[in-house]
């Protein structure tokens, strides 16, 4: 049981994906029996009866407000809402399913029931937009279940990489959207990128590297340089300078050079299509032509 705010209480349920389970509950202003789940023909009849009662209450008031201009419509709307709540159409239950990383409290705050106590004043579209602005949420849907219930379904984003920026580390999805901050020393089995602009371009680079499974484990972090090209920092201490365009061909050329040279920490520069530069640990350079098949010079 959790009470939020100072207004009327609302029954709330939040369920982690995929198995729904109740988390929060709140008593109805009319008594504890109002929050019990109701099923079967008898309850369907009750819902239809309440619908007719509410229609009988609201319609005359709406007609009266049209026939007699009001200097301030707020009191009339408040009275209509009060009557709708008495008829059983107040928003007293909220069920949330599909979320795993998003906090229940963040979802309920985005729904904002404190400012909408009935189906009449609840803005489904605005609530959905607010929920979808939460970092982990990709899509949200809200269904009104008469007489007094909202069913909220969440589809969350999936983390695809780790982004290091200005000394901080973030989880990002395939679009580069920041999902959450993580400790710098956290061990995550995700590709790691760094630098300004790296988040937005990470998915494209990861797709290229995925075509060469033997490469993925060798790349410790891909660093974005000048927001236009990548430098791959390798686990053995070496690095690979990629061009701004034609990364796929450059990666294939790097792999041919690396295979010809064998193990060893070196810097390989494949930015220029006509040649490949290899810098050994001592600082010497070796040049490899595109069709040479082996490194010329160097240790």
- Segment 181-216, tens digit of pLDDT: 998 778 888 999 999 999 999 999 999 999 988 888
**From 57-61, 106-110, 204-208, the region with the lowest mean pLDDT:** 57-61
For residues 222 and 29, the model is more confident at 222
CATH number of 161-288: 3.40.50.11690
What is the token pair recorded at 166?
Answer: 């200005």
For residues 33 and 272, the model is more confident at 272
Sequential DSSP letters for 90-153? B--EEEEEEESSS-HHHHHHHHTGGG--BTTT--HHHHHHHHHTSTTEEEEEEEEETTTEEEEE
Sign of CA dihedral 210, 213, 215, 216: positive
The overall average pLDDT reported for the chain is 75
- What pTM does this model have? 0.66
Q: By the 8 A CB rule, do 162 and 180 touch?
A: no
Q: pLDDT category, 290, cuts 50, 70, 90? A: very low
Indicate if the pLDDT at residue 173 is higher than 90: yes
What are the strands, taking DSSP E only, across the chain?
Answer: 11-16, 93-99, 137-145, 149-156, 161-165, 168-172, 178-182, 192-194, 219-225, 229-234, 239-241, 267-269, 276-279, 285-288
Residues of the chain above pLDDT 70, percent? 63
- Segment 86-100, tens digit of pLDDT: 666 678 889 999 999
Q: By the 8 A CB rule, do 260 and 268 touch?
A: no
Q: pLDDT category, 292, cuts 50, 70, 90? A: very low
Which residue is associated with the tokens 């200097």? Answer: 71
Q: Where are the domains of the chain?
A: 11-156, 161-288
Indicate if the pLDDT at residue 298 is higher than 50: no
Q: Which pLDDT value is given to residue 74?
A: 59
Question: Largest Cα–Cα distance of the chain, in whole Å?
Answer: 96
**Per CATH, the architecture of 11-156 is what?**
Roll (3.10)
Indicate if the pLDDT at residue 284 is higher than 60: no
Q: By the 8 A CB rule, do 279 and 294 touch?
A: no
Which residues fall within 8 angstroms of residue 5, CB to CB, at 6 or more apart?
114
Angle at 210 between CA 204 and CA 216, to 5 degrees: 110
Which residue is associated with the tokens 């290899």? Answer: 278
Q: What span, in angstroms and rounded, lies between the C-alpha atoms of 121 and 138?
A: 26
């Amino acid at each position: 049981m959790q009470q939020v705010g100072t207004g009327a209480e609302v029954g709330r349920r939040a369920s982690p994906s995929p198995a729904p389970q109740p988390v929060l509950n709140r008593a109805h202003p009319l008594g504890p029996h109002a929050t019990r789940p109701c099923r079967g023909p008898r309850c369907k009849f009750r819902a239809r009866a309440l619908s007719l009662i509410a229609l009988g209450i609201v319609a005359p008031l709406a007609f009266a407000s049209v026939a007699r201009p009001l200097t301030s419509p707020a009191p009339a709307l408040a009275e209509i809402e009060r009557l709708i709540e008495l008829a059983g159409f107040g928003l007293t239950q909220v069920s949330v399913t599909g979320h795993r990383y998003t906090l229940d409290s963040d979802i309920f705050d985005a729904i904002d029931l404190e400012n909408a106590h009935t189906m009449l004043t609840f803005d489904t579209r605005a609530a959905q937009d607010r929920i979808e602005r939460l970092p982990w949420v990709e899509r949200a849907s809200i269904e009104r279940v008469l007489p007094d219930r909202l069913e909220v379904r969440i589809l969350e984003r999936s983390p695809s990489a780790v982004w290091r920026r200005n000394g901080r580390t973030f989880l990002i999805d395939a679009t580069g959207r920041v999902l959450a901050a993580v400790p710098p020393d956290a061990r995550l089995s995700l590709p790691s990128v760094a630098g300004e602009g790296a988040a937005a371009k990470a998915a494209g680079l990861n797709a290229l590297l995925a075509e060469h499974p033997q490469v993925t484990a060798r790349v410790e972090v891909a660093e974005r340089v000048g927001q236009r090209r990548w430098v791959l920092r390798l686990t053995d201490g070496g690095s690979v300078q990629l061009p701004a365009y034609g990364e796929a061909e450059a990666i294939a050329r790097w792999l041919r050079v690396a295979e010809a040279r064998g193990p060893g920490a070196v810097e390989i520069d494949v930015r220029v299509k006509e040649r490949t530069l290899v810098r050994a640990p001592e600082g010497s350079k070796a040049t490899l032509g595109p069709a040479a098949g082996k490194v010329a010079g160097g240790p």
